[in-house]
Amino acid sequence: MPSRFMLANAIRALSMDAVQKANSGHPGAPMGMADIAEVLWNDHLKHNPANPTWQDRDRFVLSNGHGSMLLYSLLHLTGYDLTTDDLKQFRQLHSRTPGHPELGYTPGVETTTGPLGQGLANAVGMAIAERTLASQYNRPDHTIVDHRTWCFVGDGCLMEGISHEACSLAGTLGLGKLTVIYDDNGISIDGDVKGWFTDDTAKRFEAYGWHVAADVDGHDPAQIDQAIELAKRQDDRPSLIICKTVIGFGAPNKQGTEATHGAALGDDEVAAARERLDWPHPAFHVPDDIYAGWNAIDKGSQREADWQARFARYSETFPSEARELQRRWNGELPGDLDGAQVIEQAQRACESLASRKASLQTLNRLAPRLPELLGGSADLAPSNLTFWDGAEAISPTSPAGNYLHYGVREFAMGAIMNGISMHGGFIPYGATFLTFMEYMHNAVRMAALAKRQVVFVYTHDSIGLGEDGPTHQPVEQLNALRVTPNLATWRPCDATETAAAWLAALKRQDGPTALVLSRQTLAGQRRSTEQVAHIERGGYVLRDCQDFPDLILIATGSEVQLAMQSADALAAKGRRVRVVSMPCTAMFDQQDVDYRESVLPSHIRKRIAIEAAHADYWHKYVGLDGRVIGMTGYGESAPAPDLFKHFGFTVERVVAQAEALLD
């Protein structure tokens, strides 16, 4: 049996070889964390390389995602479907080994990491998901959900603010099965961190209520193992293991310096490292005894088989729970969820109410059948209206709940939701004011990039929030959301569209949805059955005229009622006006050309888009000949009606613009 050091050296060698071949990448972290990874993966991690999606596997997150070759090496060595040829394609187009770990590209990669700190928050989300799912489904003598979450972090992750948000909340929630291992190598890109990072990290995490193992030698397997064992015994608090390491360990001339962080070591240094590490094998070559020392297929398959047997017994004793759990794992909505009926119900009532209230109404109608919904808000529950009648807060003493009080932690909320979604078994939704989307912006992007079903609820969606003023009034955020690839952004105009938007979010499994909702009351709109059915297409004719229209008004959300009133006023003057409600441009753009032409015929160039948000976006639909009634500057502090008037969202202005365009 090879030594632990030699097993770890396989990671070092593969990592420096792959980076060298690509002439691009980050050898420092994999070489520095190789010993830690070896102990964790060989002696503690519960996984089955033959089935990377086994539901009860431990989750492993490399939050310092630039060290991707560490993870790829581990997956390759332990027996995942990742070959030496894959490693040789590191950082090449269409390879399974991209520069940073990308969910969906590589078997065994649990989350997309690279943007620092977010992997850590994903891990917190996975640990929440595990504990809540376990609390909901485990039964005495039937422990079906029982796995740990492990997360590697670097200095960068711990400097990022999101580490505070996520770890503070993890401490409050007492996530005993979460273990974070900190690669305390004292080096970041600018050099020795002493000039900019002097936290007493152990003390900081103790202040969050964590168990901390400080001063562990990250190159001593016995110390690492002991610290992990101790962490596993913490039932009611998360653990941080602080490992002192040498970045680029083994590269004799560069180790311990930022020179190993983000560039190939160079042929000479790679050769020198081979000598230092007593690793005489050619590039990418791993001897059989080393492979044998790493191979986890048999052990992993046996573990999964044991679990499958247990799950079979559980299914016999608790058939409905087992079916429901399986359904949740599969990401299937319940068969008896009658979404169309909920939309129709809203249309029949045709109430005038704020879309945030319509959202709560929809939740109250749908959520009782959806135990997979895991809601929350960043300390704005009474404003976002996300705490529905059946919501129950998750806490250390009631982990089986379905609602998280995230605290004033928007960014962590986003990344934790992503982690919950990645874990599986849940559809997370979380809310804040639309403006503060900016606090969590990159987590929204990561949800979209990683194709996660996450629902971002954004209320107080325009100057219509009134007196809180420009710091709180969104202007440009809707545009930012709409140009985020693979994000579906809905801004419904009334209760019916709000229900339809929620249904679209629940059905959309391959990406996130943003629901953009008003603080203020919106008029209910009348619709035919066909119009109701067209909402899900993202844009449709809400009001039409005889023959072809002279003018098309396009609007969303709170401005649809303005467009409708303006169309009435123009019709009274003999104008032929169509109103298009466009709650989700992304969905509309996906419709076939015939449908899009039926809504916005190419030859009708007299178009006015109306939205109390930045005007620029709408040129896409109105072109150079149309007009946009929107915002171009910031809002003001005043009652909402004063603001709509001040910024020109009035029937008079729409009519005037329309007539100027028509004449």
CA distances for 253 relative to 11, 280, 471, 624, angstroms: 19, 18, 51, 61
Nearest to 212 by CA among 167, 255, 275, 257: 167
Q: Is 382 in the site for a second copy (CB under 8 A)?
A: yes
Stretch that binds a second copy, among 141-149, 287-295, 380-388, 544-552 (CB under 8 A): 380-388
| 410 belongs to the catalytic site | yes
Q: Which of 102, 165, 372, 410 is catalytic?
A: 410
Give the strands of the sheet with 607-614, arranged side by side.
Answer: 540-543, 577-581, 551-555, 607-614, 627-631
CB of 240 to a second copy, least distance (A): 12
The answer to whether residue 616 forms part of the interface with a second copy (CB under 8 A) is: yes
Q: How many residues bind a second copy (CB under 8 A)?
A: 113
Of residues 172 through 191, those in contact with a second copy by CB under 8 A are: 172, 188-190
Restricting to residues 442-461, name those near a second copy by CB under 8 A. Answer: 442, 445-446, 449
Out of 156, 176, 293, 549, point to the residue binding a second copy (CB under 8 A). 156
Q: Which residues pair with 403 in a beta bridge?
A: 375, 393
- Does residue 81 bind a second copy (CB under 8 A)? no
Q: How far is the CB of 334 from a second copy (least distance, A)?
A: 29
Residue 438 near a second copy by CB under 8 A:
yes
- Does residue 590 belong to the site contacting a second copy (CB under 8 A)? no
Based on the shown chain and the rule CB under 8 A, indicate whether residue 127 belongs to the binding site for a second copy.
no
Q: Can you tell me which of 91, 211, 491, 543 binds a second copy, judged by CB under 8 A?
A: 91
Ordered strands of the 178-184 beta sheet: 59-62, 149-153, 178-184, 239-244, 211-217
Minimal distance in Å, beta carbon 77 to a second copy? 22
Phi (first) and psi of residue 373, to 5 degrees:
-70, 125
Considering only 44, 142, 164, 276, the residue that binds a second copy (CB under 8 A) is 164
Does 619 carry a binding-site annotation? Answer: no
Position 209 contacts a second copy (CB under 8 A):
yes
> Does the annotation list 94 as a binding residue?
no
Among residues 655, 654, 567, which one has the least CA distance to residue 611? 654
Least distance from a second copy to the Cβ atom of residue 121, Å: 10
CB 499 within 8 A of CB 337: no
In this structure, what is the dihedral angle of CA atoms 530, 533, 538, 542, given to the nearest 10 degrees? 30
If 0-12 CB within 10 Å is exposed, 13-18 middle and 19+ buried, where does residue 438 land? middle
Fill in the DSSP letter of residue 58: P
Maximum CA extent, the chain: 90
**Rounded least distance, CB 410 to a second copy, Å:** 8
CB 9 within 8 A of CB 34: yes
Among residues 80, 294, 436, 644, the one that binds a second copy under rule CB under 8 A: 436
Task: Name the 3-class secondary structure at 447.
Answer: helix
Residue 406 binds a second copy (CB under 8 A): yes
The answer to whether the beta carbons of residues 274 and 434 sit under 8 Å apart is no
| Binding piece for a second copy, criterion CB under 8 A, among 355-363, 403-411, 492-500, 557-565 | 403-411
155 is in an annotated binding site: yes
Compare residues 112 and 581 and give the one whose CB is closer to a second copy: 112
**With binding defined as CB under 8 A, does residue 401 bind a second copy?**
no
Residues 461-500 that bind a second copy (CB under 8 A): 466-472, 475-476, 479-480, 482-486
Handedness of CA 129, 179, 176, 172 (dihedral sign): negative
Q: Is 468 annotated as ligand-binding?
A: yes
Is 295 annotated as a binding-site member? no
Catalytic center residues: 410
